């Protein structure tokens, strides 16, 4: 393992020599995993709606951090055949799950009227 100084920090580096394409592929794989985990949690009715919402917000936050790094820091845009940003397509799933759970929770608290 290579170690070097970066300002006041000591950095340990496994000396992986991934190409930018390999890094992008890893980031997208990880984002897809967060989406899959979010979907699994959304469909897990053994947990309360509040627990499911909290978990989805957690996965969404992790997803957004990677998406920001991919789009802003690395300057990479991954687009679907229709031209839509792939990160937006994936984020829309989190948005849908969060909205549904928030509405269900509000309905339960307000006695069914929303």
- pLDDT tens digit sequence for 9-42: 777 777 666 788 888 999 999 999 999 999 999 9
Torsion of CA 67, 34, 82, 79, to 10 degrees: 30
How far from 51 is each of 2, 14, 34, 62, CA to CA, in Å?
41, 37, 16, 17
pLDDT at 100 over 90: yes
Structural domain boundaries of the chain? Answer: 18-109
- Report the percent of the chain where pLDDT is more than 90: 75
Q: Please state whether the predicted TM-score (pTM) of the whole model is above 0.75.
A: yes
Q: Is 60 exceeded by the pLDDT of residue 59?
A: yes
Predicted local confidence at residue 20, as pLDDT: 85
Residues 6+ apart with CB under 8 A from 7: none
79: left (phi over 0), alpha (psi -120 to 50) or beta: beta
Which candidate, 57, 17, 6, places its Cα nearest to that of 34? 57
């Amino acid at each position: 393992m290579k170690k070097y100084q970066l300002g006041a920090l000591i950095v340990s580096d496994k000396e992986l020599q991934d190409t930018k394409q390999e890094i992008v592929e890893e980031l997208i794989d990880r984002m897809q995993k967060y989406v899959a985990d979010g979907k699994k949690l959304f469909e897990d009715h053994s947990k309360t709606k509040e627990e499911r919402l909290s978990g989805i917000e957690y996965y969404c936050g992790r997803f957004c951090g990677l998406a920001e790094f991919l789009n802003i820091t690395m300057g990479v845009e991954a687009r679907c055949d229709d031209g839509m940003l792939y990160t937006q397509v994936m984020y829309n799933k989190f948005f849908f799950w969060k909205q549904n759970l928030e509405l269900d929770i509000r309905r339960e608290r307000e006695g069914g009227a929303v």
